[in-house]
Structure 1
Amino acid sequence: MTATLLTAALVVYSAQGMLVPVLAPVTRVVGLGEVDLGAVMTLSAAMLVLTGPWWGRQVDRHGVHSVLVRGLVLATLGAVGFAVMVQIAAHEELPRWLVLSVFALTRGVLYGLGFAAVPVAGLTYLASASQGAIARTKAMGAFGAMQGISLVVGPALGGLLAIGGLLLPVHVAPVLVAATLVAVWLLPRPERQERPHGERLGWRDPRVLPYLVAGASLFLGLALVEIIMGFLVQDRLGLSNSATAQVVALAGVLIGIGFALTQAFLAPRIPGGPRGLLVAGSLVAAAGYGGAIFAPNLATLLPSMVVVAVGLGLALPGYNAGATLAVEPSEHAAVAGQLAATVGMTYVGGPILGAGLYALHPLAPIIGAALLSVAAAILAATRVTRTA
C-alpha cells in the first residue's frame, strides 16, 4: 500500500502541476482575466484549509482507503468538468459569469475538495505504518519527495504536451487522476486503518501547536517569494518576458530537484529528530533567502533559491513527522488534517500579501520570508520537545 500511495501522490500532484505552463494562456483564451484565475486558485487552496480537518475525521470513521477513493472521485469530477468547460469556452462565446462560475465549481470547489483528501490520507497511513522518529521521518520524507518530484515532472510534462496543443494538458490531467482512482480503488484495503473514538484534536493542543505555527511561518515565507519570483527576476536582471519565463522554469526545476532529494536522502540522516530537522531546515532556508536578498545576478540568485529548497526539504519531514509523533496513534488522522490545512492556509493569503509587499519594496517579500524562517527556527528550538 505504501508504494502505491506514494505513486498515487506523485501522479496526482504531477497532474496538477501539468496545468501550470498553460493556465495563464488558457484563462485568456476562454475570456477570463488574471484576477479571475487568482480567485479560482485561491478558492481551491481554501478548500484544503476548510476540509483538511474534516477529511481527517472521515479517515477516523471510514479508513484511509475509503477517503482516498472518495477524494479521487471528487478530484476526477472536478478535473473533467474543468476540461469540458475549457473546451467549450475556447470555441464558443459564453458569458464571463458562466465560465467563471463553472471554473469555481469544478477547479475550485470539487477539485480542491478532492485534492485535499490526498495528503490527509497519505500522512495518516504513513504515520500509522511507521514507528519511531527515524522510520517516521523516512516515511514523511518519501511523501514529501513525491511532492518535490511532481514540481519538476508536472510542469515539464505540461510543457511537452502543450506542443501538441494548448488545451492538451487540460484534457490529459483528468485522465491521470482517473487512472489513479482506478488503481487505488482496485487495491485491497490496508490493514492499518485507525478507527478511534476519542475527543477531537484541538488546534490549540500544546503538543502540536508549535509545529503548526512553525510550519505556517515557513510556508507563508515560501508563498511570499513564489508569487514574486518572476517579477524579481525580470526587474533585477532586466530580462525579456520570454527569458524571464525560461529562468523561472529553470528555477522551478532546480528547486523541485533540491526539495525532493533533500527529503528522500538527506533529511533521514540529520541528527536531532524532527525538532533538529525543523531548526536546521528553517535556518538553512533563512540563509537562502538572505543570499537572494543580495544576489546581484542569476549565477547567485538560482543557488540561493536551491538553498531555500534544501532548507524546506529538511524542515518538512520534521514538521510532518514531529507532529504525528507528538500525538497518540488514534489522533494521526486528526493531526494530518491540521497539517494539510496549515499548509493550504498560507497559500490563501500568502500570494496576495507577497504581491502587496513587492509593490511597497522589491526586497520586502524576501526579507519577510527570511524573518519568518528565523522565527520558525526559534519556535522549534524553544517550544518543541526533544522526545518528539
Structure 2
Amino acid sequence: MIPDDFRKFLMDVRARARAYLRPPEGGSLTTAEERRRAFQILFLSLVCLGSGQSIMFAILPPLSRDLGLSEFQVGLIFAISATIWIFSSPYWGRWSDLYGRRPMMLMGLNAFGISTLLFASVMWFGMHGLLWGWLVYPLMIAARSIYGVFGSGTFPSAQAYIADRTSREERASGVATITAAFGLGVALGPGVGALVARIDILAPFYVVSVAAFVSALAIYLLLPERTAPKAADTVPAMSWRDRRVLPFLIYGTALNSVGALPIQLYGFFLMDQLGYGKEQAAEFSGVGLMASSIAALLAQFVVVQRFRLSSRALVQWGGVIALVSNVLFVFGSSYGILTFAMVLSGLGFGMARPGFAAAASLAVRPEEQGAVAGLVGATGGAGFIFAPIIGNFLYEFEPTLPFIVGGVLMAGLLLYAVFNPTMRNMSDDVPDTPESGIPKS
C-alpha cells in the first residue's frame, strides 16, 4: 500500500508537471514556447539514449575478459541486437502512426532501461560465480536483444512526434535537433562512463538504466499526447537494386563497417597493445571514444555547415582522413597516437557519412526522399552487423589485422568513388543538414 501522504505528493507532482506543458484550449502543442519545452524533453531523453549506447562500447570490452568471452563473442552480442533493430524499428514506427508517439517512446525507453539493468545484473552474477558459466553469455544476448526488439521504438517515434508538430519549413531543423541530441549523448557517454567506472566497473550500466527510467517518467508526466498522429503518407517503393542508389548503398555499407571497427575494438586494443588493466582500459577507452564522438560532431556541425563543402569533397576528404586513422592504428604504439587515431576516425567518418547520404538524396526525385533515406539508414545498421563479426574475428588472430583490412577497404572506397560512374558524377550541391543516421546496436 502507498502511504496517503506520498500518494498526494505524486499527484501534486503530476499536476504541476502537466501544467508546465498545458496547451491552449482546444488545441495541441502549437505555440513556439510549448513546442520548445516539449522538444527539450525529447532532447534530454535522446541524450540519455545516445550516452547509454557509447558507454556500452567503452565498458564491455574490459569486463568481457573477466567473463572469459572472446572478442568475437562480444561482437556477436552487438551484431544480433543490430540485426533485430533493422527489422523492428520500421515496425514500431508504423505502430506509432496507429497508436500514438508517446506510448512507443515510453515502451522504448523503459525497454532500454530494463535491458541495460538485466545486462549489468547478468554480468555481476557471472563475475561473482552465481550463474553457471554456460548460461551467462546466452543471458547477455537475451538481455541486449530486449533493447533491439523494443528499444528501437524510441527514435522513430520521437522523430515522428517532431514531424507531427512542425511545418515543412521547420521539419529539417526539428529532426536535426533530435539527431544532434543522440550524437551529443554518444559524445558524452564514454567520458561520463569513465568517471562513474571509478566507483565500480558495472556502475555506469546502472546509472544509464536509472537515467532511462527517469527519461520515460519525464515523457509520461511532461509530454502528454493530445492529438492523434497523422496518417502515414504512402511513399514510392524503391529497391536497393535501383541503379541510382545502389552505388551509394555499397559505399555506405562498407564505410559504416570500417567506421564501427575502432568503436568495437578500442577497449580491447588498449589492453592488448598497451598492456592496460580492465579498469584502466575502461577509463581510457571512454576518453578516446568521447574524443572521437566530439570530432564527428565537429565534422557535422562545423565542417559541413560552415565550410559548405560539396558532397564529393566530403566523401573524398573524409575518406582520406579515415584511411589515415586506420594507418595510425596499425603503427601506433602509444596512447596519444591511438587517441589521435580515434579523433581522425570521428572526423573522417563524420564527413564522409553526410556526404554520401546527401549525394544519394540528390540522386532521386523529391517524392522518393523517404524511401532513399530508409535505405541509407539501413547501411548504418548493416555496418554494426558486419564490423563485430568480421572485425572481432580478425582481431583474435592479430589485433592490428582489422585495421589493416579497414585501411585497404578505405583505399578501395576512395578508388570506387573516383571510378564508379554514379559516384564520380555525384552532385556538387551542398548538404543543408548534418547526418541523420544513428548507431543501432
TM-score using structure 2 length? 0.69
Deviations 1:222-248 (A, max 9, x none): 23444454666677xx63324766654
Q: Name the residue aligned to 2:52.
A: 15
For residues 293-312 of structure 1, the aligned pairs below 5 Å read 300-312=337-349
CA distance in 1, matches of 2:41, 2:119: 26
Mapped contact 1:49–1:340 kept (Cα < 8 A): no
Partner of residue 404 from structure 2, selected from 346, 354, 364: 364
Aligned-pair CA distance for 1:192: 8.2
The structure 2 residue matched to 1:110, chosen from 139, 143, 146, is 146
User: Residues of 1 paired with 2:86 and 2:343: CA distance?
Assistant: 28
**Aligned residue for 1:160?**
195
Q: Given the alignment of the two structures, is residue 353 of structure 1 paired with residue 390 of structure 2, yes or no? A: yes
Distance (whole Å) between structure 2 residues aligned to residue 150 and residue 11 of structure 1:
6
Instruction: State the alpha-carbon separation in 2 of the partners of residues 55 and 273 from structure 1.
Output: 35
In structure 2, give the amino acid aligned to 1:371.
Answer: A
In 1, distance between residues paired with 2:412 and 2:262? 12
Hey, what does 1:213 align to over in structure 2? Answer: 250
Is the contact made by 2:235 and 2:367 (CA closer than 8 Å) also made in structure 1?
no
Q: Deviations over 1:270-317 (max 9, x none)?
A: 435555544443343334445655667665554344233212222333
Check if 1:265 corresponds to 2:302: yes
Residue identity matched to 1:343:
G
How far apart, in 2, do the equivalents of 1:284 and 1:350 lie? Answer: 19
Flag the 1:256–1:96 CA change in 2: closer, same or farther, 3 A.
same
> 1:68 and 2:105 equivalent?
yes
Is the 2:189–2:290 contact (alpha carbons within 8 Å) kept by the matching residues of 1? Answer: no
SS in 2 for 1:73: helix
Residue matched to 2:214: 179
User: Percent of pairs identical after alignment?
Assistant: 25
- Letter matched to residue 282 of structure 1: G
Work out the number of aligned pairs and report it.
381
The 8 Å contact of residues 52 and 341 in structure 1, kept in 2 or not, is answered as no
Could you tell me how far apart the structure 2 residues matched to 1:172 and 1:292 are?
A: 31
Q: Deviations over 1:47-99 (max 9, x none)?
A: 22333443454455556545433322332332343344445555563233443
Does 345-354 or 283-292 show the bigger shift? 283-292
Closer, same or farther: CA 328–376 of 1 in aligned 2, 3 Å: same
Change (3 A) 1:351 1:81: closer
| Local SS of the residue matching 1:18 | helix
Following superposition, the deviation at residue 204 of structure 1 comes to 3.0
Relative to the length of structure 1, the TM-score reads 0.77
User: Are 1:382 and 2:424 counterparts?
Assistant: yes
1:80-119 paired onto structure 2 within 5 Å: 80-89=117-126, 93-107=130-144, 109-119=145-155
SS in structure 2 of the partner of residue 44 of structure 1: helix
User: What is the one-letter code of the residue matched to 1:171?
Assistant: Y
1:57 and 1:371, CA in 2 relative to 1: closer, same or farther beyond 3 A? farther
Residue ranges of structure 1 left out of the alignment (5+ in a row): none
1:149 and 2:190 aligned: no
Which structure carries more helix by proportion?
1
Superposition deviation, residue 201 in structure 1: 4.1
Query: Larger radius of gyration, structure 1 or 2?
Result: 2
What value does the CA root-mean-square deviation take over the aligned residues? Answer: 4.1
SS where residue 390 of structure 2 aligns? Answer: helix
Out of 303-312 and 286-295, give the one that drifted further: 286-295
Equivalents in 2 of 1:130, 1:258: separation in Å?
A: 31
Following TM superposition, by how much is the alpha carbon of 1:257 offset from its aligned partner in structure 2, in angstroms?
1.7
Q: Which has the higher contact order (CA 8 A, sep 6+)?
A: 1
Query: Any conservation in 2 of the 1:287–1:370 contact (CA below 8 Å)?
Result: no
What is the DSSP-based 3-state SS (H/G/I as helix, E as strand, rest coil) of the residue aligned with 1:94? coil
Is the alpha carbon distance of 1:273 and 1:239 closer, same or farther for their aligned partners in structure 2, counting shifts above 3 Å? closer
Q: Alignment partner of 2:250: what SS?
A: helix
- Structure 2: where are the runs of 5+ without partners? 1-37, 432-441
CA distance in 2, matches of 1:86, 1:290: 34
Note if contact 1:142-1:263 (Cα within 8 Å) is conserved in structure 2. Answer: no
